[in-house]
Copies of this chain bind each other. A is one copy, B any other.
Amino acid sequence: MSSPDRSTRPVVRAHDDVLGYLLKHAHFALEERTDAALAPFGITSRDLGALRVIAGGGARSQQDLAGVLGVDRTSMVALLDILERAGVLARRPSEQDRRRNVVELTDTGRELFFQAERAALTVEQDFTSALGANGASELRGALRAMLAATAH
């Protein structure tokens, strides 16, 4: 009845109504905690992402790996340098195409990966504990659905 403008033109949105804000800060908070949990292992959450792809056999070369991780191939070099120097992984030229580097985890690297992954998983579970039993998987499902629907 009065103030029809209230419903026509909404008031300024609060921060936590803005999806971009929520996604950004949720990601930031989770990454912060994950990095803290991974610090004892001497790796970051980004390193763990690379190790996960390598461990899963999802990349046949450094360039593949860079593509999957969404980083430049030149950035990949330094990232692998550090992990190789730490004895976590090893590079060797591919036998099919000697221009390519096959990247593999060392034995200690594989062990490190599984321990670090377990630590990261614990952080995730703690992070989503407020969502209840099904909430976490529903959240993942929603995010997956959005990404799938908007993939160009």
Q: Hey, which bits of chain A sit against chain B, CB under 8 A?
A: 9, 11-27, 29-31, 33-34, 45, 49, 52-53, 55-56, 68, 70, 114, 117, 120, 124, 127-131, 135-136, 138-140, 142-150
Contacts and interface: CB of A to CB of B under 8 A. Distances in A.
A22 B143 contact: yes
Contacts of A124: 18-20
**What 8 pairs across the A-B complex have the smallest Cβ distances?**
A130-B149, A23-B27, A12-B56, A22-B143, A130-B145, A139-B142, A12-B55, A19-B124
B117 A13 contact: yes
Nearest to A151: B29
A21 B30 CA distance: 10
Contacts of A131: 142, 145-146
Contacts of A20: 27, 30-31, 34, 45, 49, 120, 124
B144 A16 contact: yes
A114 B9 contact: yes
Contact of A148 (B24, B56, B130): B130
A88 B70 CA distance: 35
